[in-house]
């Protein structure tokens, strides 16, 4: 149970710190920042998959599944935004 509290604390603090950092970035820097967050999300997905590889409780599996879903959403959104930005710079 103690490990679950630590994992939840890290998760909540990561979300709060991430929100505070991203909300203070000027809009012109959002696209370059997206490529870095895609890399971080890929690491998050790998970490969550490691949670599933070890014998864990149901609540830890739910937390790992939530991490995978949120990180995958970020990766897919990042690729979509990057593709959209690249289309702006293509010659017509």
Model-level pTM? Answer: 0.55
Domain containing 25 equals 2-89
pLDDT in tens, 66-84: 878 888 888 888 778 778 8
Total domains, the chain:
1
pLDDT in tens, 47-63: 778 777 888 888 888 87
Task: Give the C-alpha distances (Å, rounded to integers) separating 76 from 38, 39, 53, 68.
Answer: 8, 12, 24, 12
Closest C-alpha to 35, from 69, 83, 91, 88: 83
**Residue 80 tokens, joined:** 């979509």
């Amino acid at each position: 149970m103690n490990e679950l509290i630590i994992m939840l604390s890290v998760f909540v603090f990561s979300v709060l710190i991430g929100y505070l950092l991203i909300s203070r970035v000027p809009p012109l820097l959002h696209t370059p920042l997206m490529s870095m967050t895609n890399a971080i999300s890929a690491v998050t997905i790998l970490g969550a998959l490691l949670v599933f590889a070890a014998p864990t409780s149901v609540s830890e599996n739910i937390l790992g599944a939530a991490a995978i879903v949120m990180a995958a959403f970020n990766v897919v959104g990042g690729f979509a935004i990057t593709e959209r930005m690249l289309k702006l710079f293509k010659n017509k």
